[in-house]
Structure 1
Amino acid sequence: MASLSPVDRTLTSRFERKYLLDPGMLPEIRSWLSPHMGHDPFSAKCPDHRYSVCSLYLDNENLNLYHQTKNAEKNRFKLRARTYGDNINDPVFFEIKKRMDQIVRKDRVTIARDKALKYIESLSSYAPSETDLGDTNFLRFVQSVEKTQSRPILLVRYMREAFESRTIDPVRVTFDSELQTQLAPDGKITHCEGEWTPVDVPGIILEIKYSDRFPSWIQSLVNSFGLRYTSVPKYGYCVEASPSLAAQAV
């Protein structure tokens, strides 16, 4: 099985807007997008054009990173390790997702699965591990983990359908659904194993990601369907859906 590793052309520095959709709106919105966008290469070759995204979120015992988002702090960040499959050849993507007011920046580094899992295991066991893997972004991730005293907290899993623009201006639109979570203090990243808890989200999560100006044709989409910009923090939803963490989320 080939490694599934979606590429986001708006990845480095971008703006994001999120909306919640009634599932019944999805076919019409897909049709509306078709002149401007096509499925990204990974959605295009997946059954029903959706693929699984699974992220291990790291935080400290006080859930400080969760509270940054809950309190809508203008400058905040998340620490996560993301995978797109359980194949031994599927890499792990370590990400620092920073929000600086309206701008979102992701520092992302790809690490071979065996080395990545060894590092995550060391976090769970509070044991020293090799962190010099020759990448500045990974070193930055490790330093952020150490500074915040973060450890593996939980897994966030969902199905994603992704579109990308046909034009030079990079625009990415994703539809995320079937949000689920499970506690992961051992740091194990899996798409299939364990006891997953469905997380109640009032609709399909539409994310629009763009690098410069909000495209006029996207604005027309928003206006035509009466979409309302909202905050949909998946990690926050999953913390609040986990009974053992919910008390700390107050």
Structure 2
Amino acid sequence: MGILTSLPATIERHELKYAVPWRFVEPICRFIEPYCELDHHSAISADNFYLVSSLYLDTRGLEFLRQRMYGKDGRFNMRVRCYGEQGQAPYFLEIKRKRGFIGKKYRAIASEDEWPAIIQDPQFRIQPADSDKNQNNMELFYRLATSYAIEPKLLTQYRRRAYVSTIDQYARVTLDASMKYRAQNHFSLVSDENMVSYDNETIYTRDMVSDAAVVLELKCDVGQVPTWMLDLISTFDLKQQGFSKYMSSFLVSHLDDGIAYMSGDRMSRHYAYG
């Protein structure tokens, strides 16, 4: 998968998220073009967006979700990700740890033979890898998966436009749109007609821009926020906020059908006509 498989096996970075209206997408892209270029998969896509599918894993008691809800410092989650329309290998086994605004991601590349066998097959054994880091990260994923007895919980899917800096050692801008989700109790990353589109009024608008429909994320080396990123934030008057695809999707799909996310007038209509 080209640049995706060549990303470092372990990434520690500063991460800032913003929910923005769709009308901001092209102006933001034009703003960053002097400093960035499209990543490989955006560059070869007709509209510069490519499909990302992520299967979120958690304990039976939803320990990872609870840590996220209560804002525990040092929390982590586990997911499996793939790129492209078919939901096929290579798969990326990821552990993402968050401390403040600093994210550290461990990722291992897995083949069709390794996923989901690493979870489901008691006889599974990790084979020597070309990269020591890939093998170490796969062993870490396996240990955590076993000790926490993780299960599939939620499949998310969205289209991403991604840029990488041409002037910084590491800086990345992603715009995620057309987000969908569904509850999941098996290990496939293939979507179907049961995927539910994110509802603007139940997911994006809680303390956010009212017409937000895209998640913008700025990522850079720790302690090295590029000046052009700061200028971007200032120019578009961006307001930083946390946005968890896993938590947002899970709460809406499992707990209250989105009632807690509704504005007051919509909640009144819900109870009047529901």
TM-score computed with the length of structure 2 as normaliser: 0.80
Superposed CA offset, 1:151-172 (max 9, x none): 1111111110000111142110
2:150 is the alignment partner of 1:150: yes
- C-alpha displacement of 1:8: 4.4
2:59 is the alignment partner of 1:60: yes
**Structure 2 stretches lacking a partner, 5+ long:** 129-134, 205-211, 261-274
For residues 188 and 10 of structure 1, the distance between their equivalents in structure 2, rounded to whole angstroms, comes to 23
Alignment partner, residue 240 of structure 1: 251
For residues 60 and 256 of structure 2, the distance between their equivalents in structure 1, rounded to whole angstroms, comes to 12
- C-alpha displacement of 1:114: 2.7
Map 1:26-65 → 2, pairs under 5 A: 26-65=25-64
- C-alpha displacement of 1:86: 5.6
2:172 is the alignment partner of 1:172: yes
Structure 1 range deviating more: 87-96 or 198-207: 87-96
- C-alpha displacement of 1:218: 0.8
Which structure has the larger Rg over C-alpha atoms? Answer: 2
For residues 23 and 11 of structure 1, the distance between their equivalents in structure 2, rounded to whole angstroms, comes to 32
Asked if the contact 2:9/2:107 (under 8 Å) is kept, the reply is no
Alignment partner, residue 229 of structure 1: 240
For residues 107 and 89 of structure 2, the distance between their equivalents in structure 1, rounded to whole angstroms, comes to 15
Alignment partner, residue 13 of structure 1: 12
Query: The residue matched to 2:57 in structure 1 has which SS?
Result: strand
**Structure 1 stretches lacking a partner, 5+ long:** none
Relative to structure 1, the CA distance from residue 113 to residue 237 in structure 2 (aligned partners, 3 Å threshold; closer, same or farther) is same
Map 1:73-84 → 2, pairs under 5 A: 73-84=72-83
Alignment partner, residue 216 of structure 2: 206
Alignment partner, residue 105 of structure 1: 104
For residues 30 and 179 of structure 2, the distance between their equivalents in structure 1, rounded to whole angstroms, comes to 24
Superposed CA offset, 1:130-175 (max 9, x none): 0423322111001111222211111111110000111142110000
Structure 1 range deviating more: 10-19 or 22-31: 10-19
**Aligned length, in residue pairs:** 239
- C-alpha displacement of 1:10: 10
Alignment partner, residue 128 of structure 1: 122
Relative to structure 1, the CA distance from residue 231 to residue 174 in structure 2 (aligned partners, 3 Å threshold; closer, same or farther) is same
Query: Which letter maps to 1:102?
Result: F
TM-score computed with the length of structure 1 as normaliser: 0.88
**Cα RMSD (Å):** 2.2
Relative to structure 1, the CA distance from residue 199 to residue 5 in structure 2 (aligned partners, 3 Å threshold; closer, same or farther) is farther
For residues 78 and 107 of structure 1, the distance between their equivalents in structure 2, rounded to whole angstroms, comes to 11
Query: The residue matched to 2:172 in structure 1 has which SS?
Result: strand
Superposed CA offset, 1:46-91 (max 9, x none): 1200001001111012211011111111110010110113658631
For residues 10 and 136 of structure 2, the distance between their equivalents in structure 1, rounded to whole angstroms, comes to 17
Asked if the contact 2:88/2:189 (under 8 Å) is kept, the reply is no
Percent of residue pairs identical: 26
Superposed CA offset, 1:116-139 (max 9, x none): 13334x1xxxx5240423322111
- C-alpha displacement of 1:231: 0.6
For residues 88 and 236 of structure 2, the distance between their equivalents in structure 1, rounded to whole angstroms, comes to 41
Asked if the contact 1:10/1:210 (under 8 Å) is kept, the reply is no
Relative to structure 1, the CA distance from residue 60 to residue 10 in structure 2 (aligned partners, 3 Å threshold; closer, same or farther) is closer
Relative to structure 1, the CA distance from residue 86 to residue 44 in structure 2 (aligned partners, 3 Å threshold; closer, same or farther) is closer
Query: Which letter maps to 1:210?
Result: C
Query: The residue matched to 1:136 in structure 2 has which SS?
Result: helix
Alignment partner, residue 215 of structure 1: 226
Query: Which letter maps to 1:211?
Result: D
- C-alpha displacement of 1:236: 0.5
